Structure 1
């Protein structure tokens, strides 16, 4: 009888402990509820231990909101508040409560390997956040991770896919973001100082519960076989992140490709970031590059608006080809993301200052929009399918892209070396068309250069993993070219730069033929120099292009 009593007593205690702990938490977070006071601590292994008193739990739920000070954040600019910040979000996520920073607080975030997971509306308010990267335990640990509570899964029965396929024979629990990979096929085999062996063929697209593909972001590759496939259910509600004055104290690591990911990672669909500011201080004569303070990946429908960001200082290292290169370093990084918009955004430093790298970079994205933005650069490395830049100003690094679909630039001022730079390290390829309306082009920001509208190069001797195209059709309407500052013997702006100086006649043979533009439509293109717009220095290469002036 005594043994039975002990057994049931132990069973009762275990049940109470199980009820006191919350589920669906990150692996390194333990959240319990008891009569003891609310307290945050760390275990010997670095786990975050959070206990919330029953009284505080009732109060927080009644308020519908929790603050960082509720979990011990000091906000004095000196005490490391990262554990308290992470604990606040962990509790809020469990109960569906919003989070608010304390107005006027100054939160210091040191180099501890800790990430605060955001799954509820968060108002950073006017609070300041100091992110100190001078001594970081894990440079890959984001400070904040905006994520979904929905779990990804492996859909069954899909062994192949066709380009532009509109329907997949699959039934899903709801609208999902599908990511597919064929590791047997390599694309984007990079050429030049940062050469590489390419990336596995990958694609990302949206499918509804009945298997219909969202054709605004179509499948762009043929998948004869699929080595990996993942479906991530998409949140239907919008998560809002507002305010916040963030300052990064820059790392002082060796200048090599060891990217720091110390910012806000967005891994959930349907997110709005509004009114955030990010600045950078403490940059010296060396440092490792950054992978984006705002880092958006594997999600769709993300809008960043009314936000101020900062370009990072450019450092140099030795590239994969064994020669010195400038390292890309970003405050915005987009990877495998669909329908991402930046609206009414700018940067703190001069967009024409070449000592700072271009603000943004992207890979494998679709439907990117800049609207009313002032940035030093737009860039699509490993392809973008459809992009729009409107009501914006682009600085010294201009517009750089390869990809597919339609690229529209309207009501904007471009101050890059060319109006559009088709990235030569990926074959200067754009399979689709460009539409340019009501724009101003200031070649090289007003420095004396022989201006070209479309720049790039392709020798036809390198296999990039795909056929390379120039835009099939280019439409330019109401373009003002401010080429008032130009070199001696200037012949006037060219539509195309000399993409292959060695291609002078029919004797040149391309091992991997470059498909040239078919048609250029011009309407009301004017130059400050008064010189006529001409085709190219390489008249032979572009001899079959039809130029129509209206």
Structure 2
């Protein structure tokens, strides 16, 4: 407390006791046995002279107020606020004179005041909180925190029940230990803009101004990949938010928004020593309209414990406005732990207005929420007249850097909306959580999910950076859904390992859904820079009768938007060890539209001699869907397709020139649409394969240790179309009798398109074999395989004559 504050407690003519009182603990006066005791403290005007200090004991604050013998300079101690032992006991100094701030002060008479002293912590009873269900205890709770904030001491209130009604904006600047304290929140008083608790820092944010020369250097520094910005070195330990309101990005698609909703281009990051940047920059800036520095705090504020019961009511009827009803965290380096949030016993969530979230984290760096249980609020109730008009959240926020959620539980039924509803989260970690949804609407950058379970509302995000998910289960039709309304994009690396996807619907599902609408989102959209998915179980036990197609990735139907923007495509994709359980029907791989229009980060080319690939796709040990008989050239009855719906002219060298490797995928069917591809298939049974409908595939095809068993409908078309300009090669492959309309027809083997019995073989062969079914059939017909034909199966080169 500064001198000005001291004068609020003790008049100028009173004994200046502040330092003496701190040094002199009344708790040490063990001799106090009745109503009055005396002790001595050093006088401020001499080195060691002693002066009598009168100490009075009272049962309650009311008894203290009734004592007419009190004088300025007396010390008083109570054993309770309303009753002895109710927890409201405190020590006071009696002073006279006008009090400027009554927080922590009791008015005894017009001229006499009792002010709390000698406290290393405070609780709510000390300030008169009743806890009877009628009093708005939030008023006294606010006074307790105001006092703690001014004295820079913690609030320690480890038990009791309190009812908060109209009180709002209870500011928390110091540590809090709520322990087993129970708070009852009356939601009839929820506010649009005022939360109940506000966790703040003591310093205020500031708007930064630079001269033209410094601004130019700063703009040049703020770009993706920046690690040090010397111009911001003076703002060490600040969260920096850069805004260009004149540059609008992030158009939001959908009927409700009709492309009108946009956001200013913004970036946020933290500054450490010598301008070191924490938080990858995703954007560059041509200009900015504002830079604000938010202080990072030089200590951790910890809030521990607490149980919160909500009435479940609404402060208005409908309207769509979002209401506050919990804790806003605006202070960096804040830790919240060991809390439970739910409805009053016997109450239901009947609110018709959406909530912003019990926890709201905004403009913060390095925050942690752990060991917390809360509920996602109801939205889609039976009967549309009971639906909440907008999404309603249990956790919200924006501009949060290095936010960690650990051992947080928030699950519910399908009528509950997603517990998370956030924007602009960066370096976002979810560990050992059980949540019905993880959602960042706009601009998530670096998301790490580990050892968690996500419910039916799924993982829904857009943004970029690292997306790393490990040992996690997601019960949703998409393991990760990249939000269509913001372009279905991820501009970074995706790693998913040892996870389980549990589809919950009967329609199409996907491990990754990355579909967008055909509009201008005002930023590039695309499917990540690299993708690696390993050891995934897709478990249909919840919907075992589902016949919906299950994709590794579900993409937009276009690679170039109508306005001309090209979709970016990964340079590396890898899917390994994907197993389907709970139904027999397996997976499909990809349906890639118009590869000639994609935008890759690397150059590729085809010159008739070689393919210079710029994308590697690896599919290994994927449990594939068993496809029935089909037209051999049908593009919609395959596991992997590259469609050319417009023309085959490639835009430039940054179009998609892939190297595709498929290994250990049985019952495989592919249609490459005459695209430019370098493809190898190994250890697979291949039921249909079309390189090009007319002529040859531009590129090469290699088949190793593969089994060819065509599954087609009755047709005059060749069962396989595998001519390739740079060669088609077979090594250690086996040819089985084709299945036409689900029946084996060894007599139709000549229609497979690259072998005719005793007539010749096409392409390059090494140790190609005929299946026993074909051999047995032809022997039964009295046919003898010619030595020349057998030699061609053993070894044949495309430059040799194809015929015997």
Q: Tell me the TM-score normalised to structure 1 length.
A: 0.83
1:474 and 1:174, CA in 2 relative to 1: closer, same or farther beyond 3 A? closer
Residue number among 344, 348, 356 corresponding to 1:291 in the alignment? 356
- Distance in 2 between the 1:243 and 1:48 partners? 30
Q: Give matches, 1:9-158, under 5 Å.
A: 19-20=7-8, 50-52=103-105, 56-60=115-119, 64-103=120-159, 105-112=160-167, 114-136=168-190, 138-157=191-210
- Distance in 2 between the 1:315 and 1:489 partners? 26
- Please name the residue that 2:532 is paired with: 475
2:376 is aligned with 1:311: yes
Which moves more between the two structures, 471-480 or 447-456? 447-456
Instruction: Write out per-residue CA displacement over residues 276-327 of structure 1, whole angstroms, 9 at most, x where no aligned residue.
Output: 11113555555100101010010111111111011101059xxxxxxx9952
Which moves more between the two structures, 405-414 or 519-528? 519-528
Could you tell me whether the CA contact under 8 Å between 1:449 and 1:487 is conserved in 2? no
2:519 is aligned with 1:462: yes
2:166 is aligned with 1:166: no
- Distance in 1 between the 2:125 and 2:313 partners? 28
The alpha-carbon deviation at position 530 of structure 1 amounts to 4.5
- Distance in 2 between the 1:494 and 1:35 partners? 79
Structural RMSD (CA): 2.9
Instruction: Write out per-residue CA displacement over residues 110-148 of structure 1, whole angstroms, 9 at most, x where no aligned residue.
Output: 134x31111111011111101111134x33111111110
- Distance in 2 between the 1:285 and 1:94 partners? 39
Considering Cα pairs closer than 8 Å and 6+ residues apart, tell me whether 1 or 2 has the greater RCO: 1
The alpha-carbon deviation at position 234 of structure 1 amounts to 1.2
The alpha-carbon deviation at position 450 of structure 1 amounts to 3.1
- Please name the residue that 1:452 is paired with: 510
Instruction: Write out per-residue CA displacement over residues 40-68 of structure 1, whole angstroms, 9 at most, x where no aligned residue.
Output: xxxxxxx99525268643232xxx11001
1:222 and 1:51, CA in 2 relative to 1: closer, same or farther beyond 3 A? same
Residue number among 289, 293, 296 corresponding to 1:231 in the alignment? 293
* CA radius of gyration, larger in: 2
2:502 is aligned with 1:442: yes
1:463 and 1:16, CA in 2 relative to 1: closer, same or farther beyond 3 A? closer
- Distance in 2 between the 1:35 and 1:383 partners? 60
- Please name the residue that 1:328 is paired with: 391
The secondary structure found in structure 1 opposite 2:202 is coil
- Please name the residue that 2:402 is paired with: 339
- Please name the residue that 1:409 is paired with: 469
1:280 and 1:464, CA in 2 relative to 1: closer, same or farther beyond 3 A? farther
- Distance in 1 between the 2:462 and 2:122 partners? 45
Could you tell me whether the CA contact under 8 Å between 2:462 and 2:489 is conserved in 1? yes
Whichever structure has more strand as a proportion of its residues is 1
- Please name the residue that 1:364 is paired with: 424
2:265 is aligned with 1:201: yes
- Distance in 2 between the 1:470 and 1:17 partners? 59
- Please name the residue that 2:697 is paired with: none
1:338 and 1:226, CA in 2 relative to 1: closer, same or farther beyond 3 A? same
- Distance in 1 between the 2:176 and 2:269 partners? 28
Q: Tell me the TM-score normalised to structure 2 length.
A: 0.57
- Distance in 1 between the 2:399 and 2:121 partners? 33
1:547 and 1:391, CA in 2 relative to 1: closer, same or farther beyond 3 A? farther
Could you tell me whether the CA contact under 8 Å between 1:521 and 1:547 is conserved in 2? no
**Unmatched segments (≥5 aa) in structure 2:** 11-71, 82-99, 107-112, 382-386, 596-640, 643-655, 664-804
The alpha-carbon deviation at position 486 of structure 1 amounts to 5.0
Could you tell me whether the CA contact under 8 Å between 1:106 and 1:127 is conserved in 2? yes
Could you tell me whether the CA contact under 8 Å between 1:89 and 1:116 is conserved in 2? yes
Instruction: Write out per-residue CA displacement over residues 120-178 of structure 1, whole angstroms, 9 at most, x where no aligned residue.
Output: 11011111101111134x33111111110022222332532333322221342531111
Tell me how many residue pairs correspond in the alignment: 492
